[in-house]
Amino acid sequence: MSKLHTKEKLEKEDILNLFNSGCKSDTDFNIGIEYERLPVSVVTAKAVPYEGDFGVCNFLRAFAKSENWDYITDDYNIIGLKQGHDTITLEPGSQIELSIKPEKSIFDLKKKIDSLNKQMAPILDKFNINLLEYGVSPLSTHKNINLIPKNRYRIMAKYLWGILSDVMMRETAGIQGTFDYKDEADAIRKFNIANKLSPFMTAMFANSPIRGGVETGYKSFRALSWLNTDNDRCGFCGKMDEDFSFEKYVDNVLKSPIIFINREGIPVEVKGKINFEEFMQSGFGDFDADIEDFKLHANLYFPEVRLRNFIEIRNHDCVGKDMIYAVLAIYKGILYNEGAMNEIEELLSGFSYRDFAEFRYNVPKNALQAKVRGIEAYEVVKDILYIAEKYLIEMNTREEKFIEPIKELALEGLCPADIIIRNWNGLWNRDVKKLVKYLSR
């Protein structure tokens, strides 16, 4: 491969411009969603592979042909579909992710997702595929789930350390929400609030207790897998520092090891030999850093809350029965209202960074019963829901209705996993096919 140097050296100011470009008027604020589901066989309840006549790749082909979507490819392999600003992409273990163009209203996002689900339904039926709204593969484990043929995932799987990194990549499915900010101060305030909320939200939406056909002892095995994946790039970023800034966030990203860079469409593996700061200063082999390198590197940095030219909140199990919209509604009610942010900051002011970190470690096992300093997550969640609902009602958008499904559970101290565990040890008699049937409704 020939030498390739950029004309001008990449400076931190170039990177900061990416974050400043996200600033917008609050009248232009939107909400986005990335929504992952697990493809399992209607017949066997095992994970549906990428390959084969009735595999996920051929499902994408059939859907693209039926609904006129374009292919997204990697080395000529189909790894997703796109139509306008919407995409259907594959995660490493063939999990199917919908990424919808951000909208002002949760109703508009729901309308688009409902429409896509309706379009996909007959083709999924033809392929005997269930898309489960669940946080971890219920029967197949990473040992028998192949990676899709995407160069990025092949390189990541070799590099990422942590005893559950393969579980995270190949078995899990989650929901991510994206939210806007008006300026740097607003971005950092929302970033800190979202980080503080994250263990409580993980607890509220915990939905992955059964994995590999057995009860794991964890209410969110998905959250456990993230606790045990590459701490160089996962966890909380910035320690919820009130003096945090775009520059401090960038500094954290720059200090994380580089997995790989791309040149002329070909991945060049760096394997963590240098971090991005060193790459900017001294290059790597024949290559100098450019802004596209930073964008790729920042996308391979996986904190609980990620800053981009919007705020991406990443820490929720996939859930069913329209609870995915409750995730968005809670954050909208809080992050898009000054009074709500004031109340949440007051509510959480008694907790230290160490307390939030301890909640994060306790929640995968105990969910709403997780305790720190004698305080149960459930007690905090009740107030979070009250504040979010109150300010959504004040906004007069009718979006408070989306909180109802999770509120019914949470106010009883329950999360979706608790219902599954109760049925698993009762009516279902530990039959994974009955779990899949429940998750398919």
What is the tens place of the pLDDT at every residue in 73-112? 999 999 999 999 999 999 999 999 999 999 999 999 999 9
Q: Where are the beta strands (DSSP E) in 31-173?
A: 31-41, 70-74, 77-83, 86-90, 96-103, 129-132
- What are the contacts of 181-184 at 24+ separation with CB within 8 A? 181/22, 181/23, 181/24, 181/310, 181/311, 182/23, 182/24, 182/25, 182/26, 183/23, 184/19, 184/20, 184/23, 184/245, 184/246
Q: Per-residue pLDDT for 22 more than 80?
A: yes
Task: Tell me the percentage of the chain whose pLDDT exceeds 70.
Answer: 98
Mean pLDDT of the chain: 96
Contacts of 181 (CB under 8 A, 6+ apart): 22, 23, 24, 187, 190, 310, 311
Q: Per-residue pLDDT for 3 more than 80?
A: no
**pLDDT at residue 7, as a whole number:** 52
For the segment 160-182, what is each residue's pLDDT rounded down to a tens digit?
999 999 999 999 999 999 999 99
**Contact yes or no for 361/227 (Cβ under 8 A):** yes
Q: What is the rounded distance in angstroms from the CA atom of residue 324 to the CA atom of residue 177? A: 10
Mean pLDDT of 309-338: 97
Residue with tokens 């979507």: 69
**pLDDT at residue 116, as a whole number:** 97
**pLDDT at residue 1, as a whole number:** 43
Contacts of 222 (CB under 8 A, 6+ apart): 135, 136, 168, 172, 173, 174, 208, 317
Q: Per-residue pLDDT for 4 more than 80?
A: no
Mean pLDDT of 175-200: 98
Q: Per-residue pLDDT for 6 more than 90?
A: no
**pLDDT at residue 8, as a whole number:** 79
Mean pLDDT of 123-152: 98
Report domain extents, the chain: 12-256+301-440
**pLDDT at residue 391, as a whole number:** 98
Mean pLDDT of 409-430: 98
Task: Tell me the percentage of the chain whose pLDDT exceeds 90.
Answer: 96
**pLDDT at residue 19, as a whole number:** 98
**pLDDT at residue 219, as a whole number:** 98
Q: What is the rounded distance in angstroms from the CA atom of residue 33 to the CA atom of residue 11? A: 31
Mean pLDDT of 129-138: 98
For the segment 255-282, what is each residue's pLDDT rounded down to a tens digit?
999 999 999 989 999 999 999 999 999 9
Q: Domain 12-256+301-440: which topology?
A: Creatine Kinase; Chain A, domain 2 (3.30.590)
**Contact yes or no for 124/56 (Cβ under 8 A):** no
Q: What's the sign of the alpha-carbon dihedral 15, 21, 26, 30?
A: negative
**Better-scored residue on pLDDT, 185 or 5:** 185
**Contact yes or no for 208/417 (Cβ under 8 A):** yes
**Better-scored residue on pLDDT, 265 or 362:** 362
Q: Per-residue pLDDT for 59 more than 60?
A: yes
Q: Per-residue pLDDT for 61 more than 90?
A: yes
**pLDDT at residue 117, as a whole number:** 97
In degrees rounded to 5, what are phi and psi of residue 133?
-90, 80
For the segment 368-379, what is each residue's pLDDT rounded down to a tens digit?
999 999 999 999
Threshold 0.75, pTM exceeds: yes
For the segment 29-48, what is each residue's pLDDT rounded down to a tens digit?
999 999 999 999 999 999 99
